[in-house]
Amino acid sequence: MSTHLLENLNPEQRAAVTLPHESALILAGAGSGKTRVLTTRIAWLIQTGQVSPLGILAVTFTNKAAKEMLTRISAMLPINTRGMWVGTFHGLANRLLRTHHREAGLPQSFQILDTQDQLSAIKRLMKSLNVDTEKYEPKKVQWFINGHKEAGRRARDAEAFDEYSMRLAELFEAYDAQCQREGVADFPELLLRSYELLYRNEPLRQHYQQRFSHILIDEFQDTNTLQYRWLKLFAGPHAALFAVGDDDQSIYAFRGANTANMVEFEREFAHGKVIKLEQNYRSHGHILTAANTLIAQNAHRLGKNLWTAEGDGEPIRLFEAYSDQDEASFVVEEAKTLNREGVAFSDMALLYRSNAQSRVLEHALFSAGVAYRVYGGLRFFERQEIKHALAYLRLLTNPEDDGAFLRVVNFPTRGIGARSLEQLAETAARSGSSLWQAACSSGGKVAGFAKLIEEIKTATRDLPLAETIDHVIETSGLADYYRADKEGADRLENLNELVNAAALFSEESEEATLDAFLAHAALEAGEHQAEAGRDALQLMTVHAAKGLEFHTVFITGLEESLFPHEQSANEENGLEEERRLMYVAITRARRRLYLSHAQSRMLHGQIRYGMPSRFLGELPEQVLLYLNRRAEAPYSRPAASASATPSRSNDTGYRVGQSVAHAKFGTGIIIDFEGRGADARVQVKFRDAGTKWLALAYAKLSAV
């Protein structure tokens, strides 16, 4: 009766689906059919009479995945799935709390606060307590509260070792009390409150342990400490836990994901019962060989090797560009060629490590008239921090711009409240003037803001465009605001990229004025983001690409400090996480994969030289096709990239940007030189040894 469910499953998939009533870890590689295995396992358990639909608890990480799971189960079995406990951690926690709201100490109609609502509630609390918001920034208070909740700790458990942290713990306690009074719960509270409910209420815990005889978890590698503890409370002594995950695709350590949970799960529940799903149904062989060889460099992994029955396929194409603009031009031209050959733009993805890298790619696509869509994020000129910076710039050229004024008059916060702005608006309306004019004739903090804009205007009057924007970002307080922001690193990178955009615009444009640049930004923001349903190239970060697949994938910016990201050096196992991220990027490609890096890249308005990513050196040579090993780029480079190789005269026999090798320091790129004849020296940026000045008379460099 159930044999049709097992049709077309490979031996490992079938073994996982038909497991007896026991816990197991399913180590499922990219493209190995894990979703199919998970849903078929549920259908098989129900159809064979081992469990009723109400005896299953299935946990996913996204509502989309939960919905897809229920849709697939409905297609397999003629059952009503409405009563099944299938959902996200937070969704199921909410369901539990609604059902047992009295035991949880919540009103039946308690409201859920999203991130912004929570921040507003914290600000309201701090205002009522007269807390100095400059010393105790509301967002930092929010991080403190959420960080402790996600680790399973209340205010009384928070580590408070000095006056500052003790005050944060007090605010945490006061915030919890406020939420209780108002009958609301934030997202971290849902999971923590439901965990506490089951932990302290033994009869309720036993009820659910008896009810759910089978617990299935998707993307187990992404669970944090509290989520794993929450699952264990449901499990009890008799439940069979079916955990599906891939430690090689664990890329969310910054969100608290703990890969050690997989090792703990194997020890506590699976007891060595591990089934590996290694047959890949997505990618050709060369792509999988590259992914396997790369990830094998990681020491802390459970270990598996992906394979395919579909053959090797095309080699992986590697392109070395002169500059980031050259790289973008190459990608656009290749994408256009593939499209002419019949590959839809929507089946191509341009991946990058950080959001700031999208700007150069967006500009190239815009200039070439190719429609694109930024997946899981905003286009460059639509990002919050960019719009803030542009608003300051708009005020420099047109202080009468009320929209720009309102956007930044109190950002970063200057203690200008809503009431002050209402009074300013009333003054402006009475006199028929702009908010700016009203501000100039008023006093207090509003007048202080007007003075700041005037000072910036004076200071930047004779500065080049890129320096003007850099000055505005620093002087306005935007840079300091995002430096202090725990999650502000990406936003800072975007602001730096705005400076780069201005530098490039100055080189390419006949009229490099601030007005012209603002018009250019508005045009690029307003066009070419493809409307729904239109065939469009997909742009996204590697993080956003997880779970997706494409015919063709371009992985750009493969340079040291970009990918792997420079921050990884400061984090425990940071490099291993970056390598897992590269693994995810590679395994998004079905048929064709491009890897590219640039000799030079504009960073903070200046040309910088970089080394190729170490990940390129970790790939097997036999699967690579070098399109231009010496960066003999077949595409015409924008005029701006000419500055990547300064034309200063020298008699060293070397040039800036040239790759060289040294017996002790390894390979590197020349980034500067000085002196002549016997006194000549070159500055080389080595892959592993850092930057060195070398005397040519003794260094014995060789060209690579």
Give the position of tokens 């358990």. 45
Separation between Cα atoms, residue 560 and residue 581, nearest integer Å = 14
Structure tokens at 221: 């590698």
Q: Can 219 be counted among the known catalytic residues?
A: yes
Query: Whole-angstrom Cα distance, residue 98 to residue 241?
Result: 25
Strand order in the sheet with 24-28: 85-88, 56-60, 214-217, 240-245, 24-28, 274-277
Catalytic site includes residue 588: yes
Long-range (24+ apart) CB contacts under 8 A made by 118-126 are 118/142, 118/186, 118/187, 121/175, 121/178, 121/179, 121/182, 121/184, 122/171, 122/175, 124/178, 125/171, 125/174, 125/175, 125/178, 126/171
Closest C-alpha to 126, from 148, 153, 145, 147: 145
Two tokens, residue 681: 């020296």
Please indicate whether residue 336 is annotated as part of the active site.
no
Catalytic residue among 34, 41, 491, 592: 34
Question: 218, 385, 559, 577: which one is catalytic?
Answer: 218
Task: Tell me how far apart the alpha carbons of residues 638 and 602 are, in angstroms, rounded to a whole number.
Answer: 13
Question: Which residue in the list 407, 588, 590, 614 is annotated as catalytic?
Answer: 588
Looking from the CA of 416 toward its CB, the CA atoms found within 13 Å total 25
The pair of three-digit structure tokens given for residue 590, joined into one six-digit string: 């079905």
DSSP string, 642-684: GGGS-----SSS--TT-EEEETTTEEEEEEEEE--GGG-EEEE
34 is catalytic: yes
In 3-state terms, what secondary structure has residue 166?
helix
Q: Which of 35, 297, 427, 652 is catalytic?
A: 35
Per the residue annotation, which of 137, 219, 327, 347 is the catalytic one? 219
Count of CB atoms within 10 A of residue 510's CB? 5
**Is 264 a catalytic site residue?**
no
Say if CB 258 and CB 228 are below 8 A apart. Answer: yes
Q: What letter does residue 636 receive in the DSSP assignment?
A: P
The active-site residue out of 221, 249, 308, 541 is 249
Active-site residues: which are they? 34-35, 218-219, 249, 588
